[in-house]
Amino acid sequence: MLEKEDFENIGYVQRTHGIQGELACKTTVDLSFISEDEDRYFLMLEEQGLLIPYAVEGFRTKTDEIDLIRFSGIETKEQAETLVGSSLWLSRDYLDDQELSEDPYDFARYLGFNLIDANRGVVVGTISHIDETTMNTLLYVDTASGDELILPIAEELFTAYNDDERTLTLDIPEGLLDN
């Protein structure tokens, strides 16, 4: 069985690219080693809390932070759209020589983290998606009650983060958590 502890969250599927199932993925590690032997690698996508393996069929780097990835079995834009927003995970075995992002303002690193409100000292929920396509970066947070919160994020709101405990503490402005 796949255990989450054996994998590292390395980013997320940001959007589709083209009409043939290619995905633009925001990543926190250099995945260029995949292009040397694409058929050998699997990336995990988190779906409903479970890690699902996807065989890499094609890989190319677009920018320092965006990789274009094709997965086996994903042939159309419509199929690819179902994966947008999914967290990307890679086996820790592949990361031996890779540097994980240490930049606290590289928001993709917080996917799957628990969000804590610094003012109340309580867990708000789990960060399920990060949207950096808008003027203000947005966090999508799944709460324990099953609701989804959308919160703007900015460097000024950061108070603490803990990679080991997978928590991000923000000074959330008053009123944003009110129903």
Question: Given a cut of 80, is residue 76 above it in pLDDT?
Answer: yes
- Greater confidence (179 vs 177) lies with 177
Q: Using 50, 70 and 90 to split pLDDT, how confident is the model at 9? A: confident
Residue type, 79: Q
pTM for this entry = 0.59
Mark out the alpha helices in 63-120 (DSSP H runs): 77-81
- Identify the pLDDT of residue 135: 81
Q: Name the one residue in this structure whose structure tokens are 């008053």.
A: 174
Q: Which CATH superfamily is domain 4-95 in?
A: RimM (2.40.30.60)
Predicted confidence band of residue 133 (pLDDT cuts 50, 70, 90):
confident
- The residue ranges of every structural domain in the chain are 4-95, 110-170
pLDDT at 131: 81
Tell the CATH topology of 110-170: SH3 type barrels. (2.30.30)
- Residue 86 DSSP symbol: P
CA-CA distances (angstroms) from residue 177 to 49, 55, 116, 125, 159? 24, 39, 12, 11, 17
